[in-house]
Amino acid sequence: MSRKLAVFGATGGTGRALIQQGLAAGHQVSAFARRPSAIEVRHERLTVVGGDVLDPAAVHAMVPGHDVVLSALGIGYSRAATTVYSQGTANIVAAMRAAGVRRLICLSTGSLELPGRTDIAQHLFFMMVLHRVLRRPYADMVQMEATIRSSGLDWTLVRAARLTDGRLTGRYRTAHGCKLPRAWSISRADVADCMLRSIDTRAVFEQTVELAY
């Protein structure tokens, strides 16, 4: 079924994949970007909208008229403090409530939550490396996830493993509402595939989905 998709974080690797795959699936896609010129795709079903996700007015102007909002907001592997995740997502949620748009699928990271000690190598790597180096953006992601869980929307949080630029395979492991063991990596293309496949999957409404090969 063709849907009207609003994509935030459209110039990142996952956002670009969402645009390409969304168009290929027959959807109408609106891509929101601070630098519209960075989106090089041209298509009759693609609308590029300029704006900053930290600007509530711009976000509120973007959301109405869409069926699904897909958020791939991110700052890469920067260690810097940020409010892109928390405030940007809060603006998206407020705009969705105001417009009556209910379906939200948001990209997060599987390393935000430590795996059990039975997966000792990954547990130590996440705790000793990632949670120390990326503690400030991770703190903002925690706020983002809390905002989504309390939003009252039909949300899905997609917690991806380490993102790569690998090809689309359509073959990956998922875990709903629990940790996925040995979750080391996943391509941005396959993350986009998972997000798009989740649009009408009611089993993942109000669920966290972990994703990896």
In tens, the pLDDT along 143-161 reads 999 999 999 999 999 999 9
Nearest to 177 by CA among 212, 144, 137, 206: 206
For the chain, the structural domain boundaries read: 4-212
pLDDT at 80: 81
In tens, the pLDDT along 96-148 reads 999 999 999 999 998 887 666 666 777 666 665 566 666 798 899 999 999 99
Greater pLDDT, 1 or 49? 49
Q: pTM for the whole thing?
A: 0.92
- β pairing state of 173-176 and 207-212: antiparallel
* Domain 4-212: CATH superfamily, name plus number: NAD(P)-binding Rossmann-like Domain (3.40.50.720)
Q: What b-and-e string marks burial along 114-145, b requiring 16 or more CB atoms within 10 Å of the CB?
A: bbeeebeebeebbeeebeeebeebbbbbeebb
Q: Is the pLDDT of residue 5 over 80?
A: yes
Q: How far apart are CA 183 and CA 130, in angstroms?
A: 14
Q: Please, which residues have CB within 8 angstroms of residue 140's CB and are 6 or more apart in sequence?
A: 81, 82, 83, 84, 85, 86
Q: Is the pLDDT of residue 91 over 90?
A: yes
Greater pLDDT, 196 or 78? 196
Nearest to 156 by CA among 204, 194, 108: 204
pLDDT at 6: 98
Structure tokens at 193: 């595939």
